[in-house]
Amino acid sequence: MSSGHGRRRVEPGAAKRALLDAIAAGDLDDRLGAIAAAVEARRRLLLTVRSATALSALCVGDVVRISEQISPRYLAGLHGTVVGLDDHAATVRLEHPVGRFASGRVRCPPLTLEKLATVDSALAGRDSRALGDRLDAGGDPQSRGLFGVVAGEFGEL
């Protein structure tokens, strides 16, 4: 099939293979710098889009788990509550201060946060009977924010 410009239309899979074959064969050696720059620009764009999408899904008050992609690594797996958002990151209040984060607040890239949708998921790896015992012990569970219930303390989201 040909287009109005005299070019033959190539299937996307075949075009990808042809490009990779040309690079491997050395046919594009004089253009490798430009190709590498174009690939890096595209990777940065995709990362920016993914980050913006993840950030737009977060709201102040969301309970999150810090993923394995975080640095420093000792933050991985910790739970907290989103207490602030800006154009590039979310500020998370950890359940318990740790390491150099004595205030308990950590500014995290959005792609390092996993939003926990329910009480059950917020309690992953915890004794869910302990939550039930706390709720059965009296007091108004609504007067405790989810964070307070999960951490075993009174508190707001």
Joined together, the tokens standing for residue 61 give: 């008050």
Q: Are 132 and 71 found together in one domain?
A: yes
Domain count, the chain: 2
Does residue 84 lie within any of the structural domains? yes
DSSP string, 59-85: -TT-EEEE-TT-SSGGGTT-EEEEEEE
pTM score: 0.61
- Residue 90's φ and ψ, nearest 5 degrees, are -115, 140
Q: Are 75 and 66 in contact (CB under 8 A)?
A: yes
Task: Indicate whether 5 pLDDT > 80.
Answer: no
pLDDT tens digits along 72-122: 999 999 999 999 999 999 999 999 999 999 999 999 999 999 999 755 444
- Reported confidence tier of residue 123, pLDDT bands at 50, 70, 90: low
Does residue 91 lie within any of the structural domains? yes
**71 or 8, which is more confident?**
71
User: Where in the sequence is the domain holding 134, given as residue range(s)?
Assistant: 63-151
Residues of the chain above pLDDT 70, percent: 69
Whether omega for the bond prior to residue 72 falls within 30 degrees of 0, making it cis, is: yes
Q: Are 41 and 78 found together in one domain?
A: no
